[in-house]
Chains A and B, each alone.
Chain A
Amino acid sequence: MREFQYFARNLYWYSATILTAGLFAALWLIQETAFAAAALGITFLSFVSNRALTRRVEKASEQKRHLDQQLIQSQKLAAIGELSSGIAHEINNPLAIIGQETEWIWHLLKKDSLPSPEADQELRGSLQEIVRQVDRCKEITHKLLDFARKKEPLIQKADLNKLIEDMARLVEKEATQNKIRIVRDYQQDLPRVETDPPLLRQVVLNLLNNAAHAVEKDGTITISTQESANNTVELVFRDTGCGISKEHLDKIFDPFFTTKPTGKGTGLGLSISHGIITRLGGRISVVSEVGKGATFTIELPVKPLRGEP
């Protein structure tokens, strides 16, 4: 009986232990399963929401691309609109003068069958004016053609110090007569740049010419070249001229924008320069204040990226 009691007590303890262990094991299992299920659920949910998010991002990117395209298109249209109205103005003025001179010639011819010496003089004057105005129109249309014709740049390695110096000498002759000093600050070991030398020459000449006009008399044009970060070179043209007002600065690279008197400038020089520098993979910028001169900076890559220009 004692043995039986001993056995029963032991069995009780064994069972209790096993049951407790089983309970803990079951609890542990339930917990782990719950954790695993929760983790699985979270993974699934995050997968689903990630997919939805990805889809939304893709859709947003697509919409952005579409909007960007629309923006570019509308900017292009706006540019064409501005350009057309600029062309209309620049061409209509000489046309109006041609029309008037022709009317005056008719008037003189109606009056006399054989023109008097004074009328003859006036006739010649009117004809000369017509030729002058036709030349004015021709200059505008030729520059426009240059502007429109995207000449494919022909890339060659060039020493930009030499390229700029050639143009500086060209401008210097006239500049010296107006007591304008050209100061050079070239970086001697400037890396040779892969670019289109004739196109770049056109830009440099345009900037130096503008600088000389801005200075007019008694001033300085400083040209500096230097290598800068990201494998680029910087060409800086600083003048001590009249400077550019804040409202003009925004329009300085716009086609037909000019501060020169009517008939003296077409307002295409800087916009052509801007186009060339962009095609050469670079950037052109200006800093100026009225009465404090202007600084034009060209940044050019030493080696243009592929597809650029």
Chain B
Amino acid sequence: MPSSAKVLIVDDEERFRITLRKLLTANGLETNAVGSGREAIEELKQQPYDVILLDVKMPEMDGIEALAELKKISKNVEVIILTGHASVDVAVEIMRLGGYEYLLKPCPMDELLAKIESAYERKTARDERLRKAEATPTNPSS
């Protein structure tokens, strides 16, 4: 993978986090993993991430609630929902909250890597546009 996206994995299944982290790291991505929505919020407050892989069904705070909070902390972070639970209602709610993609577990690694790559591209393009907008002096006549 050409990019060096910084990815945060959020899933309550410990083994899932461990192996996915090893796989993403082996594919050249900088990764970190936490076990709950609340931990993800704390982690994002500490340092920026490009892409977050977020589970939906988690104890305490579910993925939808966490997504809304994560987007409040960092509007530009791209969130990919990776869940074992397929539901149209949930998918609609996720897209409404600004989720980038909704993937169903088990997801082939190639597909996941491609989604992360595309989310990262979108994130960098948006960051770039924001930087340009900030650098452009405002026209006093307008």
Q: Are B23 and A100 in contact (CB under 8 A)?
A: yes
Which residues of A lie under 8 Å from residue B83 when comparing CB positions? Answer: 89, 92
Closest to B58 in A: A262
> Which secondary structure dominates where chain A touches chain B?
helix
Which residues of B lie under 8 Å from residue A129 when comparing CB positions? Answer: 15, 19
- Give bound CA distance, A101 to B20, whole Å: 9
Interface size on A, residues (CB 8 A): 24
Given contacts A93-B16, A263-B13, contact A104 B85 (CB under 8 A): no
Q: Are B12 and A92 in contact (CB under 8 A)?
A: no
Chain B 97-129, CB-CB to A under 8 Å as 1, else 0, gives 000000011111100000000000000000000
CB distance from B15 to the nearest CB of A (A): 5
Q: Are B85 and A96 in contact (CB under 8 A)?
A: no
Q: Are A89 and B106 in contact (CB under 8 A)?
A: no
* B26: interface (CB < 8 Å): yes
Q: Are A104 and B19 in contact (CB under 8 A)?
A: yes
Closest to A92 in B: B84
* B59: interface (CB < 8 Å): yes
Q: With contacts defined as CB atoms under 8 Å apart, how many contacts are there between chain A and chain B in the complex?
A: 68
Q: Are B16 and A103 in contact (CB under 8 A)?
A: no
Q: Are A99 and B106 in contact (CB under 8 A)?
A: yes
When the two chains form the complex, which single residue of A85, A89, A90, A103 contacts B23, counting CB atoms closer than 8 Å?
A: A103
Given contacts A92-B105, A93-B105, A107-B23, contact A100 B16 (CB under 8 A): yes
Considering residues A100, A101, A126, A259, which has the most beta carbons from chain B within 10 angstroms of its beta carbon? A100
Given contacts A92-B104, A93-B105, contact A261 B86 (CB under 8 A): no
Given contacts A99-B106, A107-B26, contact A88 B86 (CB under 8 A): yes
Instruction: Provide 16 A-B residue pairs closer than 8 Å at the C-beta atoms, listed in order of the A residue.
Output: A85-B86, A85-B87, A89-B83, A90-B84, A92-B106, A93-B84, A95-B84, A95-B106, A97-B15, A99-B107, A100-B19, A100-B23, A103-B23, A103-B109, A129-B19, A262-B57
Chain A residues in contact with chain B, CB under 8 A? 85, 88-93, 95-101, 103-104, 107, 126, 129, 133, 259, 261-263
Beyond A92-B85, A98-B106, A262-B59: 10 further Cβ-contacts under 8 Å? A85-B85, A85-B87, A88-B86, A95-B105, A97-B15, A100-B106, A103-B19, A126-B19, A262-B13, A263-B13
